[in-house]
Chains A and B, each alone.
Chain A
Amino acid sequence: KNQVEQSPQSLIILEGKNCTLQCNYTVSPFSNLRWYKQDTGRGPVSLTIMTFSENTKSNGRYTATLDADTKQSSLHITASQLSDSASYICVVSARSNFGNEKLTFGTGTRLTIIP
């Protein structure tokens, strides 16, 4: 069964500090991995999308890494800001035999930045 597990479930850090969120998956055959940011009461917003051949991708202060061998990904946030407080969701896409793709969502990490 395709699964995506994220850790920690929640994290509280001081403004200006860095943090790293983890994602482990057992999805196959792997197609791509995405990180989304979801503010409270809003829909998820895409941060990064990585394919099998990419092992790092940045979007401003967000840097995602992917190790397809160990099936692990991380999202590193640098110099956190209060606006980074949100849930961060890891999503892994599997390619089906029919050519389409199915997404498996992690339960997310709830990040709180305190001043």
Chain B
Amino acid sequence: GAGVSQSPSNKVTEKGKDVELRCDPISGHTALYWYRQSLGQGLEFLIYFQGNSAPDKSGLPSDRFSAERTGGSVSTLTIQRTQQEDSAVYLCASSWGGASHEQYFGPGTRLTVT
């Protein structure tokens, strides 16, 4: 079946603009994660959705970052008033359950803030 998909694959934006990144998880997966991978750094956890539970937002670096998951499926990560340090690859992953289950990653969105 189809894997996790993300769009756009690349996004270049000017500092101060808002951006939206989209993630389509594997159908039926109840858990969805957003991560950020900066150059030379490990993956950084941002936010975790599990079913109808309140999302775990503990990894969001600032209030400029927000995410939502509509209908328990598609998720959108929004970054407001982008800064150059937001430049990174943003990865989405989904799984059948919580973090003890295998996560399947999308190809990522490379965000460049100029």
Same complex for A and B? Answer: yes
User: Hey, which bits of chain A sit against chain B, CB under 8 A?
Assistant: 4, 31-32, 34, 41-46, 49, 89, 91, 93, 100-103, 105-108
Contacting residue for B99 out of A4, A42, A100, A107, CB 8 A: A100
Q: Is the interface of B mostly helix, strand, loop or mixed?
A: loop
Stretch from B14-22, B63-71, B79-87, B101-109 at the A interface: B101-109
Please tell me if the beta carbons of A107 and B105 are within 8 angstroms of each other in the complex. no
- Chain A binding site: helix, strand, loop or mixed by DSSP? strand
* Pair A102/B103 contact, Cβ less than 8 Å: no
Residue of A nearest to B100 (CB): A101
Query: Across the interface, do B42 and A89 meet the contact criterion of CB distance under 8 Å?
Result: yes
Interface residues of B (CB under 8 A from A): 4, 35, 40-45, 50, 56, 91, 93, 98-100, 102-108
A43 and B4 in contact, given A89-B43, A108-B42 (Cβ under 8 angstroms): yes
Q: Which chain A residues lie closer than 8 Å to B42 at the CB level? A: 4, 89, 105-108
